[in-house]
Structure 1
């Protein structure tokens, strides 16, 4: 089983009177999302789980433009600013038929989940930084997603975007 955690790309600042859920990407974020799409075009998952926030949906919409085949994508309100335990519970409910899933969400939940999973990987210390548009890929052997967090994982990579 393979899991890719992707933090949304850079959004416009949180401002008084603007609903956080509705914040779109800024120009740097749109460029970063496009770059993620180019870099991952050959790594098509079986399923994408995405928060319903504007910045996560826009990240997915932009990056997926570089892909030839589109996987099914579920936009889920419960993923918006979800805590790591809630994210883990959602992943554990996936069918064992789903071999590779992308989870597009927010910090601190994604960063905390990456750190929790890194604890079960040999030679991996804490994930020190998980900036916007960062992605982490792990894999694990098991009978199903319900074992995630209970069995050792292999850390494949951690990619962070280049700054302008």
Structure 2
């Protein structure tokens, strides 16, 4: 069952970075498709494969729009994407992964650094991007490897 999550936030209601917001921790403000947004890291931790090796998912190639990527992944059969969407969240994009690493480096969030985490940005039909939160390495990995996912929410700021 999909959780109903907070949909928007007023700029005046934003907490300090690293503080609770919308069922998670407020990471930062950023711009996506001409709209200012608040990135929220959930505490949930998922594991799974990105998707089917050799299957191109054209709708999952955005370096910035994690929610659109995650929806395309789910439509292509990705179980971990479906789980993230059921939480009212999505798998971070390449950009959102970098913002999470910045928040970790600033001491605002805790992210496991003993395993790679999937990002929702597809690299090719055979691989997708992942991030290592030890030092922020972004690389591509074979889609049928099991990795961690830390879902995020991206709320429009009004």
TM over 0.5: no
Higher strand share: 2
TM-score normalised over the length of structure 1: 0.28
